Amino acid sequence: MNRFFKISIFTFGFTLIISSLSFTQSNSQSNLQLFPENYDFGVGLWNTIAENFVEVSYGFGNLSHKKIKENFNNVSLSEIKIGRRFTGPAGNYKILSFNDSYLFSSYVTYNTITNENSTKINAELWRFGLGYRKGFGYNFAGSILFLHNQFGFIWNKSSFNFNQFNLSENSQTTLKKYDDIRFGTINSGGIDFKLMSFLGVGALYETTVIFPRHLFWKQAASFFIELFSQTGIDYFTEGVLLKSVPRITPIFYFLLKNGLSYFFYTLKQDKMNWPFNTETPLTTQAIKFNLNIFI
């Protein structure tokens, strides 16, 4: 894994250097040539627009813990977000940028109809937290397509139902660490399609890491390593991609940000505060579909 990490960092740095040398200070005329003369930037978005929104989601997922040999039953997830969105032009280029800040609450439970397997662990979680979502997109005759990455802090209240005789003592001890409210992080990447001024739909893939206990300094250091890496992609996007290939910047941004998020997720599946030698966390993965109402 260390070798893979070094290769990833080298590849990112090499790409950054080559891109910077290849795409030095393109003038505005060359940028505009990427688009037809009658390209519709649309709906008066030359200035930033602020909107409040309510988002409801429903999805399906699973839980896992690498120290627990037994399997968890699949779960369904219901969620509501309340937040504020800022949308505007990405510099002088004819694509859009947006960012959301929001609070959310969700309920996760095993499906009692399809998951009545007594040899698997039934989980129920109440979650609440705050998050930030950012991305770039395109306007198609008034309908806006956004590709984005999300990050948030999440608090979880969990309960588990299982057959005591089928669950090992080690697994029971591990699960008891999550009986109280536990802190965690949540990442996701997805697509939003704003159909009209007040309505949008979307889909996303989500991962969460739930910590069995709180180690402030190791947790803070692990967080800033990830934040520093993600911020590097933001600077690369705004300093290189937007100037050289604005038309495909939303796609590149989506792949880079979410690829890095998932890479860190795989590392934290073994060590909750990677790269420090810390406990194995409870993790979840889910696919969600959402409906947005803008106010």
* CATH code of the domain containing 287: 2.40.160.20
Give the Å distances, CA to CA, from 52 to 1, 26, 125, 131, 145: 42, 36, 27, 15, 18
Residue 163's pLDDT band, with cuts at 50, 70 and 90, is: low
Q: Kindly state the average pLDDT of the residues 105-112.
A: 88
Q: Which of 42-46, 166-170, 228-232 has the highest mean pLDDT?
A: 228-232
Residue 14's pLDDT band, with cuts at 50, 70 and 90, is: very low
Q: Kindly state the average pLDDT of the residues 269-288.
A: 96
What percent of the chain stands above pLDDT 90?
A: 63
Which of 278, 263, 164 is closest to 221 using CA atoms? 278
pLDDT at 21 over 90: no
Q: Which residues pair with 203 in a beta bridge?
A: 191, 289
Q: What is the pLDDT of residue 177?
A: 93
Phi, psi for 280 (deg, rounded to 5): -80, 130
As a whole number of angstroms, the distance between CA 61 and CA 75 comes to: 5
Residue 168's pLDDT band, with cuts at 50, 70 and 90, is: confident
pLDDT at 249 over 50: yes
Supply the mean pLDDT for the chain. Answer: 84
Q: pTM above the 0.85 mark?
A: no
Q: Which residue has the tokens 């770039």?
A: 136
Contact 152, 128 (CB under 8 A): no
Q: What are the pLDDT digits (tens) for 182-202?
A: 999 999 999 999 998 899 999
Q: What angle do CA 33, 37, 42 make, to 5 degrees?
A: 110
Q: How many domains does the chain have?
A: 1
Write out the residue range of the structural domain in which residue 285 sits.
Answer: 2-294
Q: According to the 3-state scheme, what is the secondary structure of 55-88?
A: EEEEEEEEEECCCCCCCECCEEEEEEEEEEEEEE
Q: What is the pLDDT of residue 142?
A: 76
